[in-house]
Structure formats: C-alpha cells, structure tokens
Chain A
C-alpha cells in the first residue's frame, strides 16, 4: 500500500484533568464535483474512508467518512481516562489505498 507523505498534526494535552486530543489530517478530500479552473476538467473523487484512533491500544474512535468531510479533516476529542505519558495513535486509509498513521504522547 502506498504511504502518504504529507504532514499531519496531532496534539494531546491535559486541560482541566482531561486529555484534549486534536487531529488535523492532510488530505484533499476531493468530492469529485469540483472542476479544475486551469484544465476545465473534473477533479476525481479522492477522500479518506476510514480513521481509527486508540489510546494505549484501546480503540477510542472508529470513523467511516464520505467525501463530505472537510478538506484536511479535523477531529478533536476529550479523554477522561487519559493522563500524561499515554499514547494516542491514529491511522487512516483513503479510497485509493493510501494510508498513514501517527502517534502522540499526552503531555
């Protein structure tokens, strides 16, 4: 499977006793409806289909998406049972079989 090369951003910080996790993925999330202004051609649909995030290996979030999610998709969640040093990991795959994974340690 191809691996995605773009930059993703992920942060997990304690705030008021809860770990705030923010995930910003780098992906065009093309709907397939958009016309390229230069070529006049339709830009093919291209989107993340699935995202899974876990905390120390236990699943937190499992998402299935359409192309209706925003470009560079963003997800934020609050983890009541996480603390400093815990690892949050997310991985995604898109409709072309591209995938990537990232990890952050709660601080």
Chain B
C-alpha cells in the first residue's frame, strides 16, 4: 500500500494507530500527506476542521492543555504551549479563530516529545486559540480565549 493511501485509510479506521502503537510505522509519519492547501485556506474554524479531520468528531478534553497568557500584547506573535498526556505519535493541529483563515499549522510529534510543544501564532483579533491532538485516530481539543491588544494579520 502506498503511504498516502495508508494514511487516508488509517485516519478513518484507526488501524494506523494500532500499527503505530506496535511501533511498526515510526518514524514514518502518522497523518501527513500533502500540504493541506484546502484546510489552510478555509475561512472558518468549522470548515477548516471539517476538511482537516475529514468530518470526524472532535472531543473537548482535559487531556489536552493549552497554556497562554490571557492577554496578548501583540497579535502578530502570541506564545502558546501545548501539553498532553496522550501517548504515542501525535498530530497537533492549531487554529486561531479570529484569523481570516483560522488553520495555523499541524505538527507531527514523535513519542519522545512527551506531548509537549511551545510555539507562536498570529491572532488577527481577540478570539480563541484551539489545539486539537489526534491520537489513536481520535481527536481531542482544548480551547483558550485570548484578548489581543494589537492585531497581527493587518
């Protein structure tokens, strides 16, 4: 099976997650296929999620923590930290809801990162940052409202 086909199949069925757990696929990546032009160009969080997660349900979960200051001085660069106790190879997808195109990026994290990543995103205005962690084919999310003093997409 070609890798891309495997990835598509795995996303839907969770069989990939089982294979990944067994250590068969690492460091071959979990979900990456082509750079997701459609998802990144989508103009609402809902549309972006529908495209990037192929309509699969996304469950708000305390197992994903999204840390950030409540007020961002500069929307052009908002520091955020993601922490999760979900294990295995993970896919992290970030959204900045106030941006004209909310999907910011997706990150495949090797198990040894321990479900931790720090980064910086743009926020056009005050709004929610959403982190979705995909593990074992299921999607878990955390959401945090951040007030922005000066927008970052102008």
Contacts and interface: CB of A to CB of B under 8 A. Distances in A.
B107 A62 contact: yes
Contacts of A55: 112
B32 A59 contact: no
Contacts of B84: none
Interface in B10-60: 27, 29, 32, 35-36, 40
A64 B108 CA distance: 9
A60 to B, nearest CB: 5
B110 A68 contact: no
A61 interface: yes
Contacts of A82: 112
A81 B112 contact: yes
Interface string A40-59: 00000000011000010011
Contact of B113 (A29, A33, A34, A79): A79
B65 interface: no
A64 B92 CA distance: 10
A65 B37 CA distance: 10
Interface in B93-131: 96, 99-110, 112-114, 116-122
Given A68-B121, A76-B119, A33 B110 contact: no
B113 A68 contact: no
A101 interface: no
A68 B97 CA distance: 11
A2 interface: no
Interface residues of B, number: 36
A70 interface: yes
Nearest to B92: A63
B135 interface: no
A63 B105 contact: yes
Interface in B71-104: 76-79, 96, 99-104
B119 A73 contact: yes
A77 interface: yes
Contacts of A75: 117-119
Contacts of A102: none
B119 A33 contact: no
Interface of A: 29, 31, 33-35, 49-50, 55, 58-82
9 contacts: A34-B154, A60-B112, A60-B113, A61-B109, A71-B122, A74-B119, A75-B118, A75-B119, A76-B118
Interface of B: 27, 29, 32, 35-36, 40, 76-79, 96, 99-110, 112-114, 116-122, 152-154
